[in-house]
Amino acid sequence: MLDQIRIVMVNTTHSGNIGAAARAMKNMGLSRLVLVDPIAAIDEEAIQRSSRAEDILHNAVIVPTLEEAVADCSLIIGTSARSRHIPWPLMTPRQSAAKAREMIPAGNEVALVFGRESRGLTNEELHLCTAHVHIPTEESFS
């Protein structure tokens, strides 16, 4: 079931963040990492930060566009730290997890898309998503 979920990271600028994401994925039982046009490489820092999740890094798929990363997905969840007024469906993290659990048994692929560290996903990238999830964070930081 979890093998139908992929984590997609767009234009990642710091290799340590790629490693930290791999570690978090491994802790949650996820294994499919897709990097969209990463600025940072999977280097020694990424491997060190992954803390025994090197297999996820070694199996990561690198693609040039978000379109390619999510082409075969039925549920594409775009994440944002900011609450936005956009015309796409807005879900809570809990609702998006429930929707994924509903779709996976039918063989659907699910992507959870994270944007750039500095500014997140663009509106154009969010437009490719079938749902938008606002992940509450400290306002002064995000």
Task: Indicate which CATH number applies to the domain containing 15.
Answer: 3.40.1280.10
- Assess if residue 139 is contained within a domain: no
Under 8 Å between Cβ of 142 and 90:
no
pLDDT of residue 82: 66
Between these two residues, 79 and 35, which has the higher pLDDT value? 35
What is the per-residue pLDDT across 74-109, written as a single tens digit (0 to 9) for each? 999 999 876 666 677 788 889 999 999 999 999 999
Q: Determine the Cα–Cα distance for residues 12 and 35; give it in Å rounded to an integer.
A: 8
Q: Which range marks the domain in which residue 82 is found?
A: 2-134
The token duo for 105 is 């048994």
Number of domains in the chain: 1
Q: State the pLDDT confidence band at 61, using cuts at 50, 70 and 90.
A: very high
Per-residue pLDDT, averaged over 40-51, amounts to: 96
Percentage helix, strand, coil, to 5, in the chain? 35, 25, 40
In this predicted structure, the answer to whether residue 56 has a pLDDT above a threshold of 70 is yes
Q: Determine the Cα–Cα distance for residues 109 and 118; give it in Å rounded to an integer.
A: 28
Which letter, b or e, does each residue of 24-50 get, where b requires 16 or more Cβ atoms within 10 Å of its Cβ?
ebbeeebbbbbbbebebebeebbbebb
Which helix (H) or strand (E) segment is 69 a member of? helix 66-70
- Assess if residue 27 is contained within a domain: yes
User: 11 — phi, psi (to 5°)?
Assistant: 50, 45
Which helix (H) or strand (E) segment is 32 a member of? strand 32-36
- Assess if residue 116 is contained within a domain: yes
- Assess if residue 142 is contained within a domain: no
pLDDT of residue 92: 87
- Assess if residue 141 is contained within a domain: no
pLDDT of residue 86: 67
In this predicted structure, the answer to whether residue 132 has a pLDDT above a threshold of 70 is yes
- Assess if residue 19 is contained within a domain: yes
- Assess if residue 21 is contained within a domain: yes
CA 22-142-116 angle, to 5 degrees, is: 45
- Assess if residue 57 is contained within a domain: yes
Q: 114 - beta bridge partners?
A: 9
pLDDT of residue 130: 92
pLDDT of residue 135: 77
What is the per-residue pLDDT across 8-30, written as a single tens digit (0 to 9) for each? 999 999 999 999 999 999 999 99
